[in-house]
Amino acid sequence: MIRPRPYLSWSSLNLFEKNPKQWIEVYIYDQKIPINKAMAYGKELADGLEAGELTGHESIDIAMIQIPKFELMDKAFEAKINDGKNEIILLAKPDTAKKDLSAFKEYKTGQGIWTQKKVDDFGQITFYATAIWLKTKKIPQDIELVWIETATQLDGKIEATGTIKRFVTKRTAIDCLKMCARIKRAWQGIKKLTEDELL
């Protein structure tokens, strides 16, 4: 079975479902997705948090100090699921998590407004909760999305506004089972897409 990577990440799953053509460009031909200013700002924050060091960018460093954190920062882990024929390896990388994976938080920057419903429906959080459930046999009961609001300044730069909102959210066994079905469909779809492109 041909696939460009031996695991499935949230990024791969999400892009495959949204835009199979772009998935081919990124995951088969290694083309980079263009990064805009807002994405670059979010990456700078993520890199600073992962390194545990201030960036020298004032609004990012203030946000880094204020947001809640657990012991693990941006550490990937693997979980496994069987689709009846083959084992699928999931690669999950929450922004911060407890060592035992009983809790995790995801950070988001941006000008788009996050609401409780949007967080409750957010697939990335469900993917991570499902991976933890498959690995530990327990669904984490402490899950948050932390939104660091940003705005475009007059000079065109992206800066944090100082507003940080925390959304507590839950995932159930039904949510995880639905995500498992989604993962299996995507894994088979990725196999077919890859074979159609390369064979």
* Residue spans per domain, the chain: 7-198
| Dmax (CA) of the chain | 56
What's the average model confidence in pLDDT over 27-50? 84
Q: Which two tokens stand for residue 61?
A: 């460093």
Helix (H) or strand (E) holding 91: strand 87-92
Cα distances from 61 to residues 13, 38, 151, in angstroms, run: 31, 16, 16
Ranking 9-23, 71-85, 109-123, 148-162 by mean pLDDT, the lowest is: 148-162
Is domain 7-198 classified as CATH 3.30.540.10? no
pLDDT digits (tens, 9 = 90+) for 91-134: 999 999 999 999 999 999 888 899 999 999 999 999 999 999 99
pLDDT digits (tens, 9 = 90+) for 154-166: 888 888 888 899 9
